[in-house]
Chain A
Amino acid sequence: MKSNKNRLVQWTAGVLLAAAIGAPGAYAQQPGDSGATASAAAPATTPAQNRRAIRKADRLLAKQVRRALVRVKGLDSGRIVVIARSGDVTLGGSVPEAGQIALAHAAAQGVSGVRSVTDSLSVKAAGQ
Chain B
Amino acid sequence: MFSQRNFRMAGIAGAASLLLSGAAHAQSSVTLYGVVDGGLLYTSKTLDAATGGNGGKQFSFVDGGSAPTQFGLTGTEDLGGGAKAIFKLESGFSVANGAFNNSNGNLFGRQAYVGLTNPFGTLKLGLQFSPFFNTLYDLDPRGLSQFGSSLPIYLDHVLGTGVFNANAVSYASPVVAGFSGSAMFAFGGVAGNFQSGRQYSVNLKYDNGTVMVEGAFYNGNSGGTVNTAPPTNIAFVGRMLGASYKIGKLTAKASFTNYKVAGGFNSNVYDAGLDFLAMPDLDFNGGVWFVSDRNDTTNHSVMGALGAQYFLSHRTTLFGQVAVVNNHGAMNTGLSVNDALFSPQGTTTGVNVGIRHIF
Residue of A69, A90, A99, A120 with highest tally of chain B CB at under 10 A: A120
A83: chain B residues at CB < 8 Å are: 248-249, 277, 280
A67 touches B9 (CB 8 A): no
Give, as a whole number of angstroms, the nearest-CB distance from B152 to chain A.
15
Q: Is A127 in contact with chain B by the CB < 8 A criterion?
A: yes
Q: Is A105 in contact with chain B by the CB < 8 A criterion?
A: yes
Chain A count of residues within 8 A CB distance of the other chain: 37
Chain B count of residues within 8 A CB distance of the other chain: 47
Contact pattern, A 55-86, Cβ under 8 Å of B = 1, otherwise 0: 00001001100111111010001110111000
A118 touches B277 (CB 8 A): no
Q: Is B209 in contact with chain A by the CB < 8 A criterion?
A: yes
Residue of B244, B279, B315, B317 with highest tally of chain A CB at under 10 A: B279
| C-alpha gap A69/B267 in the complex (Å) | 36
Q: For chain B, what secondary structure do more than half of its interface residues adopt (helix, strand, loop), or is it mixed?
A: mixed
Q: Which of B67, B212, B281 contacts A78 (CB 8 A)?
A: B212
Chain B 240-292 interface residues, beta-carbon cutoff 8 Å to A:
244, 246-249, 251, 277, 279-281, 283
A127: chain B residues at CB < 8 Å are: 68, 70, 90, 110-111, 129, 133, 137, 163
B247 to chain A: closest residue by CB: A59
A-B contact pairs, 24 of them (CB 8 A): A59-B247, A62-B248, A63-B210, A67-B208, A67-B209, A68-B209, A70-B208, A70-B209, A73-B119, A78-B212, A79-B143, A81-B251, A93-B277, A102-B16, A119-B6, A119-B9, A120-B5, A122-B314, A122-B358, A126-B133, A127-B70, A127-B111, A127-B129, A128-B67
**Residues of chain B at the chain A interface (Cβ within 8 Å):** 2, 5-6, 9, 12-13, 16, 35, 67-68, 70, 90, 110-111, 119, 129, 133-134, 137-138, 143-144, 163, 174-175, 178, 207-210, 212, 244, 246-249, 251, 277, 279-281, 283, 311, 314-315, 317, 358
